[in-house]
Amino acid sequence: MPKTSDKSPPSNELQLGRAVEWPATPGQAQIDRVPNPQRDTNYLVRFTAPEFTSLCPVTGQPDFAHLVIDYVPAQWLLESKSLKLYVASFRNHGAFHEDCTVMIGKRIAGEIKPKWLRIGGYWYPRGGIPIDVFWQTGRLPTGIWIPDQAVAPYRGRG
C-alpha cells in the first residue's frame, strides 16, 4: 500500500480531469483525495458500485457484487474518478469475496483517514450461496444519520 501524507497532492498529480490508463491491478491503482471544504461539519458520503466484478482465485470465473461505501470525512474526501478506476482494477484480480471487500475498505480508510467508514459487499450467489461481507473502522460521530444500505437480501426466484 502506498504511503500517505497529510498533504493534498498537487492538482497535476490527480487523475481527475485528464486521461489516465486503467490500472491493471488494485496495487497499481492510485486513490486520490481532495481537501474537505466542510471539515468542521459531520456528514455522510455514500458511494455505490452496483456492478463490481472480480475473479474467483480458484476457478478464475467472474464474481459479481454490489458495493456500498459510507464514510464520514475528516480532512479528506475520496475523489470519485480514482475510486472508479480502483474498483475497475479488480476485474482481473483473483481474491475471495471477503478479501476483496475488506481490502477495499482498508485501502480507502488508509488513504483518506475518515472519522468513520463502512463497506458492505453484497455478493451474488456462487454455488447457490450469496455472501455478504461488512467491514467498518472508526467511531460513528454522534448525530449522524446513517441510512440503510438499501440492498435487498438475495431471494433467488422467489
pLDDT of residue 19: 92
C-alpha dist (Å) from residue 27 to 8, 30, 87, 97: 20, 8, 11, 17
53 by DSSP, 3-state: which? strand
For residues 7, 33, 143, 46, the Cα torsion angle rounded to the nearest 10 degrees is: -170
9 within some domain: no
pLDDT of residue 2: 47
Joined grid coordinates for residue 53? 466484478
Its pTM stands at 0.90
Quick check: 31 and 78 in contact, CB under 8 A? Answer: yes
For the chain, the domain total comes to 1
Residues lower than pLDDT 50 in the chain: 1-3
Specify the CATH number for the domain of residue 111.
Answer: 3.30.1130.10
157 within some domain: no
18 within some domain: no
For the stretch 103-138, pLDDT in tens is 999 999 999 999 999 999 999 998 888 999 999 999
95 within some domain: yes
pLDDT of residue 111: 98
| Residues assigned a catalytic role | 56, 63
Residue 93 CA to its chain's centroid (Å): 15
pLDDT of residue 30: 96
Domain of residue 45: give its range. Answer: 28-138
121 within some domain: yes
22 within some domain: no
C-alpha dihedral sign at 19, 38, 141, 146: negative
Euclidean distance between CA atoms 142 and 42, whole angstroms? 9
pLDDT of residue 5: 57
pLDDT of residue 156: 67
